[in-house]
Amino acid sequence: MGVLVDANIYLAVILDEPEKKSIVELTQNSELVSPLVLPYEIGNALSAMFKRDRLTKVQVVDCFDIYNTIPVRLVDVDIKAALQIAFDFSIYAYDAYYLEIARRFKFNLLSLDKKMMSVASEMGIHVLEV
C-alpha cells in the first residue's frame, strides 16, 4: 500500500526528531510516495536550517545523504489540479502537490502539518496520525 509522505516526515526522520520511531513503525512495509519536488524541498529545508545556524555544512550534507538512503517513489504532479486545490483551500501550491497525488492515487497521507491534514480530511483523504 502506498503512503503519500510529506517532506516534514522525512525531515523528522533525518534529524532524529522524537516522532521518528512512530514514523518508522507507521511506514514499515509501505511504499513511500512523494512529489518529484521532494529532494528540492529537503535541500531547501536543510539549507534554511544552516542559514539559521541550526545545522553545520557537514551536518547538512550528512542529512541529505541520509535522505538519499530512504526508498521513495517520486511522482509527477498534475499542477493544474494542484493549483485548483490550493485555490479552493487557500493553501500553498507545494502543499497542494501532496494532496493532489494522494487524491489521484487514493494514497493515505502522512504529515506533521495540521493544516494539510485538515484539508486532506475535508477532501476525503485518509490521514495517518503520528
> Could you give the domains of the chain?
2-36+72-128 (3.40.50.1010)
pTM: 0.94
Q: Tell me what pLDDT residue 1 has.
A: 76
**End-to-end Cα spacing for the chain:** 17
- Residue 89, pLDDT score: 98
pLDDT at 31: 97
pLDDT of residue 51: 98
Q: What is the pLDDT along the chain (130 residues), one digit of tens a residue?
A: 799 999 999 999 999 999 999 999 999 999 999 999 999 999 999 999 999 999 999 999 999 999 999 999 999 999 999 999 999 999 999 999 999 999 999 999 999 999 999 999 999 999 999 9
SS (HEC) of the chain: CEEEECHHHHHHHHCCCCCHHHHHHHHCCCEEEEECCHHHHHHHHHHHHHHCCCCCHHHHHHHHHHHCCCCCEEECCCHHHHHHHHHHHCCCHHHHHHHHHHHHHCCEEECCCHHHHHHHHHCCCCEECC
